[in-house]
Structure 1
Amino acid sequence: MTPHHDARAKAAFVGTGRWIAAARALETARPDRLFNDPWAELLAGESGKATLEAADYNPFLPVRTRYFDGRILRAARTDSQVVLLGAGLDTRAFRLPLPASCTVFEIDHAEAFTEKEAILRTAPVQCERRCVHADLSGPWTSGLLEAGFDRSTPTIWVAEGLFFYLAEADAESLVRDAAALSAAGSTFLADIFGTGLLALEGMAPLVAARKSAGRPLPFCTDSPEALFRAGGWSESAVVQPGQPSANFGRLAQVPVTRDAGEQTNLRTYLLTATL
């Protein structure tokens, strides 16, 4: 990745973070909210709100957040640690009732933390929180270890909205590196788009631009379990948004089973892998 492309990718990721924060703020304002994020509106800023208003509202966003919240809390123990990969404007260290002995590591570009730290500097944190400045498309494990990551402690890895911003080789490397660092009993949570996303008409300009520039396409797969199995994770399972455990009354019901050969439909996979 060239410096120009790297800067553009970072800017896009930060902009997406503000949009997602605006979606969390919108959800927080609902009387039937799925979670409470009192910092989301400030983190979104005017640009995040404008992006959300200009786009069609996607009810998947609050469902994804609530789904991962529940999975994190079920997996968290007094001796566990959480690693938020591509943390962006995530506020889980502040808003989730994690054990006080739990350490949350947030990994992202330095730019992603600039405004966030200014806004959250006086916010009470639920547990130990440490920020790691690193590019997840390059070497990142040394920074995490230097921040105090304990390889003997079970870890909850969270990659929410991250994999689409990685190339296939980087996604494979990330999964392998996380497994290599993990103690027995660790969990990896991720959402991964199916290949049908790249076939959408709205994705055509991005796909064409990437191909003409000789750059890899955003990572998508219809075999997320195979990705994690190859990366060293012993067990993995997926659900799709809309299934009973990932619905919360907000999405249309979808079948519990899926046709592995059907790759033309737009699918999203919520994956849980374990060691």
Structure 2
Amino acid sequence: MSELGAIERTALLTAALRAAETRRPDRLYTDPYAEAFAGEVGPELLAQIREVTFPAGRARTLPSTPDYNAIRTRFFDDLLISAVAESDIDQVVVAPCGMDARAFRLDWPRPVRFFDVDRPVVLAAKRAVLGETRPSADVRPVGVDLRDGTWTAQLTAAGYRPDEPSIWLLEGLLYYLPEPDVHRVLDAVRGVSADGSLIAADVVNRAALTLPNMRGLLDVFASWGCPWLFGTDEPEELFARHGVLAEAIQPGEPDADYGRWPDPVPPRSATDVRRVFFVRGRRHER
């Protein structure tokens, strides 16, 4: 998988984190494909993250990436499954999909068309690992660059129906993009999602990009060629600007804890603290 770009290689980190979670007796989910997706590179990336996150002989000051990733994965797993079970929506879009295996490992309550959106090289790497593995959903790979303004045309060519509600997951994406690209992506989603569509994403706050105690983690990602570029202190406002009435939840709050978040949850009024938000909301036209 050496041909993957810098940002795409972070998908191997996520796969390594999911493989490690799957080996835990108290795991929050099981991903039987993650270890194969991670390959040799994923564990090497994870080792670098662990080294700065859990420094020998010193207290941890950075967020626990393994716990965060476990909570994020489980939170969005539950959100997608419940959204399908509680509605008649039958199209799910994961953009970018990276080495995500939800179309294969989750027990979907009814048939769904599942659009795996990512660069062609990523989709080819996934296909090479999965081989003839049968998915639990009707998977439609869509090979595009999300920064290209024409990618939604390829999505519709794959069978996506913009006039029908959909479920969108933008996981592990927005903080890697310059702010203009964040707005372009959210505008594109708005343009092809009908009223009532569910939009979900994760995003960091602005302080997470600059705080001295985040430096170790930020430096690792920058050294890989994929620095964190975007954060917002008002995620609800960001998504409202793009036609989504949303709520933002922090890991460790009741709906996003699962007994695993190890740190205090800062109130929204607190300043100069790092935060992550899980955003979920409905597409609407005023």
| Short-chain TM bin | 0.7 to 0.9
Instruction: Label 1:217 to 1:105 Cα distance change in 2 as closer, same or farther (>3 A).
Output: same
Contact 1:10 1:109 in 2 (8 A): no
Match of 2:131 in 1: 121
76-85 or 43-52, which deviates more: 76-85
| 1:223 aligned partner, one-letter code | E
Instruction: Label 1:28 to 1:227 Cα distance change in 2 as closer, same or farther (>3 A).
Output: same
Task: Describe the SS at the equivalent of 1:55.
Answer: helix
Instruction: Label 1:50 to 1:102 Cα distance change in 2 as closer, same or farther (>3 A).
Output: same
Q: 1:183: Cα distance to partner?
A: 1.7
CA distance in 2, matches of 1:130, 1:157: 14
* Alignment of 1:137 onto 2:151: no
Match of 2:181 in 1: 170
CA distance in 1, matches of 2:28, 2:208: 26
Contact 1:137 1:166 in 2 (8 A): no
Q: 1:217: Cα distance to partner?
A: 6.8
Instruction: Label 1:244 to 1:164 Cα distance change in 2 as closer, same or farther (>3 A).
Output: same
Match of 1:181 in 2: 192
Q: Give unmatched runs, 5+ long, in structure 1.
A: 1-8, 211-215
TM-score of the two chains, using structure 2 as the length reference: 0.84
* Alignment of 1:20 onto 2:14: yes
Identity %: 35
Contact 2:89 2:167 in 1 (8 A): no
Q: 1:256: Cα distance to partner?
A: 7.8
Match of 2:71 in 1: 63
Task: Describe the SS at the equivalent of 1:38.
Answer: coil
CA distance in 2, matches of 1:82, 1:33: 25
Aligned residues: 259
Q: 1:52: Cα distance to partner?
A: 1.1
Q: Give unmatched runs, 5+ long, in structure 2.
A: 51-63
* Alignment of 1:42 onto 2:36: yes
TM-score of the two chains, using structure 1 as the length reference: 0.87
Given the alignment, which residue of 244, 257, 260 partners 2:254? 244
Match of 1:213 in 2: none
Instruction: Label 1:10 to 1:225 Cα distance change in 2 as closer, same or farther (>3 A).
Output: farther
CA distance in 1, matches of 2:264, 2:88: 36
Alpha-carbon RMSD: 2.4
Match of 2:166 in 1: 155
